[in-house]
Structure 1
Amino acid sequence: MMLLELKNVEAAYGNIKALKGINLSVPEGKIVTLIGANGAGKSTTMKTIMGIMKPIAGDVLFKGESIAGMKTHNIVRKGVVLVPEGRQILQNMTVRENLEMGAYQRNDAEGIKEDLSKVFERFPRLFERQGQFAGTLSGGEQQMLAIGRAVMAKPEVMLLDEPSMGLAPLVVQQIFDVIKDINKMGTTVLLVEQNARKALQIADYAYVMETGKIVMEGPAQEVASNPDVMAAYLGGKKKQ
């Protein structure tokens, strides 16, 4: 089943069209990645899915129902959660409080407790630092906290916007391992990522975006071996 679909979506900042008729599908249980250069429109796509921006044309569907222009908290309630670029954790709240904030729309106290244990199990560092202010964590720990907070919302689809940005290579590997784990546990993932090599390694399907348009799509391994993609994003040589 297609959990999430964008159909001919257009979005704009004033007179500047940022998305020019995007078609994109995220099947249930898969990892789908959206790669592209800075300014290609990847984050705008995420914001449009989450209702932070309203599309000026086209539709966003979750389980076949239109969520285009719906308020963000209602989209979260339906089961779509965003881990935003730059993490955006609550710096002056503790690690534990940040995680509990992720579950603010839930009312199953036992389930919340269980999921908090699972997050601490998956991120022992967060367990160790649960009483610390989130702003005192390292960049990698903050990213783990942002992902853990999203897990607490019990999403069906998790959107990750540049999760590896600014992190050391060792931490990047950890973050990608976590994304694979989350997917194995049953959460569908849409991943926007500048580290195209890593994203294509873990994704099932990939879309390549340039200046507000999807210019290529296909199974991730096929996209990774495309000479144009290799030249543009993977440091390979373009065939003459």
Structure 2
Amino acid sequence: MLKLNSIQTKYGSIYALKGIDLVVNQGEIVTIIGANGAGKSTTLNTISGLVRSISGSIEFNGVDITHMPTDKIVESGLIQVPEGREIFPNLTVMENLKLGAFLRKDKQGIKEDIEKVTTFFPRLAERFSQLGGTLSGGEQQMLAIARALMSKPKLLLMDEPSLGLAPIFVQDIFNIVQKINEQGTTVLLVEQNATLALSIAHRGYVMETGNIVMEDKACNLMDNESVKAAYLGF
């Protein structure tokens, strides 16, 4: 479904990605784990066109999207939930959700999908008229994911969904990611909470300073002694 071939990305003179290869197959949850500054978020931003690679190629469903405009990438079904949520704080929950569907013309389908996403996030249904900026951090993360789902993603990129959340919300978010995947959406997840990420993923990549240094089934990475020592805290 998604294939990165020798992707290099720079910020000024600094190489953030040093020729990475990565594959996501349809129906999977794939996670990228690594320390701060490893290049995880840059990988997602390069895939979605927010940052441009200087070499290599990105294929999505057999189409080269390396130089495709970001809005066309979104239109193709590749949607990112950004780090820090980035909801519209001065718009209501409902307005945020409708903006997620801005490329769609099917009014009835949009209405049905608003009902569908609120089955994942019942709290949002209670707050349709509330301004996004007045929600708690966990509720804002729920809104950011729900807004992304309104675009009907084929592949959902998620950047640090647990960042800054209370533990009670973190488990809720990861349970919902699993449900989204079970209902047919492929997920590429960047997450510093490596234990939780690997617990729901099918496969994982380990990044260090712009390089992929390990790739395996998530269960194997959980049992790997070097991964345990570096990222799992035991």
TM-score normalized with structure 2 length? 0.99
CA distance in structure 2 between the aligned counterparts of 1:122 and 1:179, rounded to whole angstroms? 9
2:196 to 181, 195, 198: 198
1:26 is matched with which residue: 4, 24, 27? 24
What residue number does 2:207 align with?
A: 209
Once residues 37 and 69 of structure 1 are traced to their aligned partners in structure 2, the CA distance between those partners, rounded to angstroms, is 28
Which residue identity does 1:151 align to in structure 2?
A: L
Structure 1 residue runs of 4+, over 4 Å off? none
Aligned twin of 1:151: 149
1:77-131 deviations in Å (ceiling 9; x for gaps): 0000000000000000000000000000011111111100011122111000110
* Distance in 1 of aligned mates of 2:110 and 2:121: 16
| Cα drift, residue 35 of structure 1 | 0.3
Which residue of structure 2 lines up, in the alignment, with residue 16 of structure 1?
Answer: 14
**Partner residue, 2:108:** 110
Inter-partner Cα distance in structure 2 for 1:103 and 1:200: 30
Alpha-carbon distance, 1:69 to partner: 2.3
Q: How many residues align?
A: 234
Q: 1:124-135 residue pairs with structure 2 within 5 A? A: 124-135=122-133
1:52 is paired with a residue whose SS is: coil
SS at match of 1:43: helix
Q: How far is the alpha carbon of 1:70 from its aligned partner?
A: 1.4
* C-alpha separation in 1, matches of 2:10 and 2:200: 31
Query: Paired residue for 1:93?
Result: 91
Contact in 2 for aligned 1:53/1:69 (Cα 8 Å): no
Among 80, 83, 106, the residue aligned to 1:82: 80
Q: Give ranges in structure 2 of 5+ residues lacking alignment.
A: none
**CA offsets, 1:196-219, max 9 Å, x none?**
000000000000000000000000
Give, in whole Å, the separation in 2 of the partners of 1:127 and 1:40. Answer: 37
Q: How far apart in 1 are the matches of 2:191 and 2:120?
A: 22
- 1:229 maps to 227
Instruction: List per-residue Cα deviations over 1:29-48 (Å, max 9, x = no partner).
Output: 01000000000000000110
* 1:177 corresponds to 2:175: yes
Contact 1:201/1:221 (<8 A) preserved: yes
Q: Which residue of 2 aligns with 1:65?
A: 63
SS in 2 for 1:198: helix
Distance 1:51 1:164 in 2: 23
- Percent identity over the alignment? 58
Render the CA deviation track for 1:119-166: whole Å, top value 9, x for unaligned. 112211100011000000000000000000000000000000000001
1:86 partner letter: G
TM-score normalised to structure 1 length: 0.97
Letter in 1 for 2:51: M
Task: Point out where structure 1 has 5 or more consecutive residues left out of the alignment.
Answer: none
CA distance in 2, matches of 1:192, 1:101: 24
Instruction: For 2:82 and 2:130, locate their aligned partners in 1 and report how far apart those are by CA, in whole Å.
Output: 22
Q: Separation in 2 of the partners of 1:218 and 1:206?
A: 6
